[in-house]
């Protein structure tokens, strides 16, 4: 696609939008974008950055999420992207490399608004994944992606979990961060909501645990996965209906928490 095509897409009733072009990594815009690699800056600005054609395409499907798209001057914007109300900025490849956290940038990034933190209310007959102090960004992102694939209704990140809007979490979700509700907050209140709705709450622990095959799949359940090293907090284990574990048949001491989450979500949903 040529730049004239993009100008046409961005034109409005008041006339054509002037495309911006940034060449220097010392540009103030570039400095601001780079700061979004830090959690503090993301929280202060209310924005986060994503990279890559797939993630940007998924983000554009969410209304009023994307503020700016930065694309390398040697790349083209896909025809199917809807750029209404989105500022398009061309930049030299070194600018995209400067704001990227990947070794091989794809040449496109976007600045997105952090959605308002609403209190999500759990509804009857939902399937919920709760994460208890899961600290590895790759694990958090993978579990969100797997929850999306397994048809879960919501993911809840408790205190101590990796930041939802860090680049590694977002990349690991492969766009699933834009597909299902993700809440952040006190797990105890969400567990209590589940129990009030008679939604079975399953912890994951050897402590008073059962092999997961001993429970029946159901339309509604809440599954809690704990910290990679310490497991679930005792206060949360005390609130569960049952605690499950996955038998180890080989010599490995344990499963990766993301793998365990996938096995259990798919089994419990039937």
259 with 137, same domain: the answer is yes
Query: Is the residue at 132 inside a domain?
Result: yes
163 with 216, same domain: the answer is yes
* Neighbouring-strand partners of residue 146: none
Query: Is the residue at 118 inside a domain?
Result: no
Domain housing 185: 127-269
Query: Is the residue at 121 inside a domain?
Result: no
166 with 136, same domain: the answer is yes
Report the alpha-carbon distance of residue 23 to residue 25 in Å, rounded: 7
Query: Is the residue at 200 inside a domain?
Result: yes
Q: How confident is the model at residue 84 (pLDDT cuts 50, 70, 90)?
A: confident
9 with 63, same domain: the answer is yes
84 with 134, same domain: the answer is no
Nearest to 258 by CA among 114, 189, 162: 162
The CATH number that applies at residue 45 is 3.30.1330.30
Q: How confident is the model at residue 10 (pLDDT cuts 50, 70, 90)?
A: very low
Q: How confident is the model at residue 18 (pLDDT cuts 50, 70, 90)?
A: very low
pLDDT digits (tens, 9 = 90+) for 209-254: 999 999 999 999 999 999 999 999 999 999 999 999 999 999 998 9
Predicted confidence at residue 118, as pLDDT, reads: 62
Query: Is the residue at 213 inside a domain?
Result: yes
pLDDT at 12 over 50: no
131 with 24, same domain: the answer is no
Query: Is the residue at 122 inside a domain?
Result: no
pLDDT at 48 over 70: yes
Edge-first strand order for the sheet with 47-51 is: 20-22, 87-91, 66-72, 108-113, 47-51
The CATH number that applies at residue 204 is 3.40.1280.10
pTM over 0.85: yes
pLDDT at 5 over 90: no
Predicted confidence at residue 1, as pLDDT, reads: 40
């Amino acid at each position: 696609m040529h730049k004239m095509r993009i100008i046409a897409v961005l034109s409005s009733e008041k006339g054509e939008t002037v495309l911006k072009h940034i060449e220097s990594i010392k540009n103030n815009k570039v400095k601001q974008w780079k700061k979004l690699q830090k959690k503090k800056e993301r929280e202060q600005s209310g924005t986060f950055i994503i990279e890559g054609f797939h993630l940007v395409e998924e983000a554009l499907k969410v209304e009023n999420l994307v503020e700016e798209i930065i694309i390398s001057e040697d790349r083209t914007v896909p025809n199917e992207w809807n750029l209404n109300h989105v500022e398009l900025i061309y930049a030299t490849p070194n600018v995209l490399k400067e704001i990227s956290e990947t070794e091989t940038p794809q040449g496109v990034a976007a600045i997105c608004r952090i959605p308002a933190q609403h209190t999500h209310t759990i509804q009857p007959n939902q399937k919920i994944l709760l994460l208890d102090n899961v600290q590895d960004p790759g694990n958090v992102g993978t579990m969100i992606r797997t929850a999306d694939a397994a048809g879960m209704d919501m993911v809840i990140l408790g205190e101590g979990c990796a930041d939802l809007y860090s680049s590694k979490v977002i990349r690991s979700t492969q766009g699933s961060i834009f597909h299902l509700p993700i809440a952040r907050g006190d797990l105890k209140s969400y567990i209590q909501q589940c129990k009030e709705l008679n939604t079975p709450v399953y912890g994951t622990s050897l402590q008073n645990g059962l092999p997961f095959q001993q429970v029946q799949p159901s339309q509604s359940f809440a599954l809690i996965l704990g910290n990679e090293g310490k497991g679930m907090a005792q206060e949360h284990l005390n609130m569960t209906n049952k605690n499950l574990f996955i038998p180890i048949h080989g010599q490995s001491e344990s499963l990766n928490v993301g793998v365990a989450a996938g096995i259990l979500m798919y089994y419990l949903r039937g």
